[in-house]
Amino acid sequence: MLLAEISGNVNVIGYGIAALGPGIGVGLVFAAYIQATARQPESAGLTRVYMFMGFAVVEALALLGLVLAFALQGGS
Amino acid sequence: MLLAEISGNVNVIGYGIAALGPGIGVGLVFAAYIQATARQPESAGLTRVYMFMGFAVVEALALLGLVLAFALQGGS
Amino acid sequence: MLLAEISGNVNVIGYGIAALGPGIGVGLVFAAYIQATARQPESAGLTRVYMFMGFAVVEALALLGLVLAFALQGGS
Amino acid sequence: MLLAEISGNVNVIGYGIAALGPGIGVGLVFAAYIQATARQPESAGLTRVYMFMGFAVVEALALLGLVLAFALQGGS
Amino acid sequence: MLLAEISGNVNVIGYGIAALGPGIGVGLVFAAYIQATARQPESAGLTRVYMFMGFAVVEALALLGLVLAFALQGGS
């Protein structure tokens, strides 16, 4: 007797949502850096460290979701 | 008898949604700082503290979701 | 006896959401590069490396979702 | 005995979400190219290759969702 | 014995979401073309081909969702 034909793991949905925001956020950071560098090339060195910092803290949110998807397996 | 083939933990979905907003929000903060610093480099020191403050309070929302995902385990 | 006529795998939903953010984010990065290059053609070489870097780290978020959709199969 | 009158395959939902982000992202890339070309027609040749590159990598995210919808059929 | 009064097919939801992103994306492409043409009327011929190209590849994402909604019928 089969009660459900849907299979899968909702943790993948969880990671997917956790990757949604950072996917947009990291894009915003890099887009801002590209436009700022193109307009003021002399500011490239000044803002580069903040681009990497912003990229790191935003990307970390998605990677935490990846860790969580493995850490909280169902039925445990 | 198999009642459900879907496994996983909805807490991961919860964290994912909690990371969605901050992922975009922190990206907005850093993007604004990069563009502002490139246009007025002399304002970098003045606005830096607010960039970190904005980053901290927004990122905290996602990290609270991470804590909550572990604190509120199902069936407990 | 059929209790559910819905079939499928929720991992596809998970990948779909994981592709949503990067789909917008990579678009933002390329849009910024195109507009910046058109306005300051001499900056094309300076910002190209950051366009590819931004594209890579954002696209990786979606590809991690693709890997996760296969790694976390249901019922495991 | 029929317990559910809802039919369908959740993989279609998964593809739908996977098409959402690239739908916006590809639109952003083309919109940026059109506006950049209209403002600086001499840059059209320089940025055209990046428009196609951006279009390809973003559209690929949606097509991967289409492949995944067929690869991960339910009940497997 | 009827346990569920909701009927329908989730594939329609899937197509709906698949139409969401391209709905915005095609709007972005046409909006950019209209604004660019209004500002630089002499560029209308140059960018028209890209408007149609952008429209076609974004619209295709939604049409693929329509095809998929028929291809992946429930219970199969």
Give pLDDT tens digits for B12-61.
Answer: 999 999 999 999 999 999 999 999 999 988 888 899 999 999 999 999 99
- What are the CB-based long-range contacts (under 8 Å, 24+) for A56-59? A57/B26, A57/B55, A57/B59, A58/A21, A58/A22, A58/A25, A58/A26, A58/A29, A58/B23, A58/B26, A58/B27, A58/B30, A59/A22, A59/A26, A59/C57, A59/C61
Q: Report the gap between the CA of A56 and the closest CA in chain B (Å).
A: 10
Strand residue runs (E) in E1-76 = 7-9
Residues A46, B45, A31, A25, CA torsion sign: positive
Q: Which residue has the tokens 């590209």?
A: A34
Q: If we measure between CA atoms, which residue out of A3, A19, A35, A7 comes closest to residue A67? A: A19
pLDDT of residue D24: 94
Q: Report the gap between the CA of C38 and the closest CA in chain A (Å).
A: 10
Instruction: Give C44's contacts in chain D (Cβ within 8 Å).
Output: 46
Q: If we measure between CA atoms, which residue out of A1, A57, B68, D10 comes closest to residue C17? A: D10
Residue A6 has pLDDT above 90, yes or no: no
Q: What is the mean pLDDT of residues C48-53?
A: 92
Q: How far apart are CA C36 and CA C24, in angstroms?
A: 18
Which three-class secondary structure state does DSSP give residue B68? helix
In which band, very low, low, confident or very high, does the pLDDT at E8 lie, cut at 50, 70 and 90?
confident
Domain B15-70 has CATH 1.20.20.10: yes
- The end-to-end CA distance of chain A, in Å, is 25
Q: How far apart are CA E49 and CA D34, in angstroms?
A: 10
pLDDT of residue C27: 94
Quote the tokens at residue A26.
């990291």
Ranges of each domain in chain B: 15-70
Which chain D residue lies closest to C12 (C-alpha atoms)? D14
Q: If you average pLDDT over every residue of chain C, what do you get?
A: 87
Instruction: Give D39's contacts in chain C (Cβ within 8 Å).
Output: 38-39
pLDDT of residue D73: 74
Q: How far apart are CA B21 and CA B43, in angstroms?
A: 27
In which band, very low, low, confident or very high, does the pLDDT at C74 lie, cut at 50, 70 and 90?
low
pLDDT of residue D29: 94
Between the alpha carbon of residue E55 and those of residues B18, B33, E33, E69, the distances in Å are: 34, 34, 11, 22
Q: What is the mean pLDDT of residues A17-24?
A: 92
Q: How far apart are CA E7 and CA D66, in angstroms?
A: 26
Q: What is the mean pLDDT of residues C46-51?
A: 90
pLDDT of residue D27: 94
| φ/ψ of residue A74, rounded to 5 | -65, 150
Q: What is the mean pLDDT of residues C48-64?
A: 92
Q: Which residue has the tokens 């149609």?
A: E52
Between the alpha carbon of residue B30 and those of residues A30, A73, B51, the distances in Å are: 10, 34, 7
By Cβ distance, the residue of C17, C21, C74 closest to B5 is: C74
pLDDT of residue B60: 93
Q: What pLDDT, in 10s, does the model give residues D31-65? A: 999 999 998 888 888 889 999 999 999 999 999 99
Q: What pLDDT, in 10s, does the model give residues B50-72? A: 999 999 999 999 999 999 988 88
For residue B8, what is the DSSP state? S
Asked whether C and D share 3 or more beta-carbon pairs under 8 angstroms, the answer is yes
pLDDT of residue A32: 94
pLDDT of residue A21: 92
Residue D26 has pLDDT above 90, yes or no: yes
Instruction: Check CB contact under 8 Å for D19 and E17.
Output: yes
Residue D76 has pLDDT above 50, yes or no: no
pLDDT of residue E76: 44
Of residues E8 and A67, more confidence is placed in A67
Q: What is the mean pLDDT of residues C26-55?
A: 91
Q: How far apart are CA B1 and CA B3, in angstroms?
A: 6
pLDDT of residue D74: 53
- What are the CB-based long-range contacts (under 8 Å, 24+) for E10-13? E10/C6, E10/D6, E10/D7, E10/D8, E10/D9, E10/D10, E10/D12, E10/D13, E10/E74, E11/D8, E11/D9, E11/D12, E11/E68, E11/E69, E11/E70, E11/E72, E11/E73, E11/E74, E12/D8, E12/E69, E13/D8, E13/D12, E13/D13, E13/D16
Instruction: Check CB contact under 8 Å for A6 and C1.
Output: no
Instruction: Check CB contact under 8 Å for C8 and A6.
Output: yes
Which chain D residue lies closest to C24 (C-alpha atoms)? D25
Asked whether B and E share 3 or more beta-carbon pairs under 8 angstroms, the answer is no
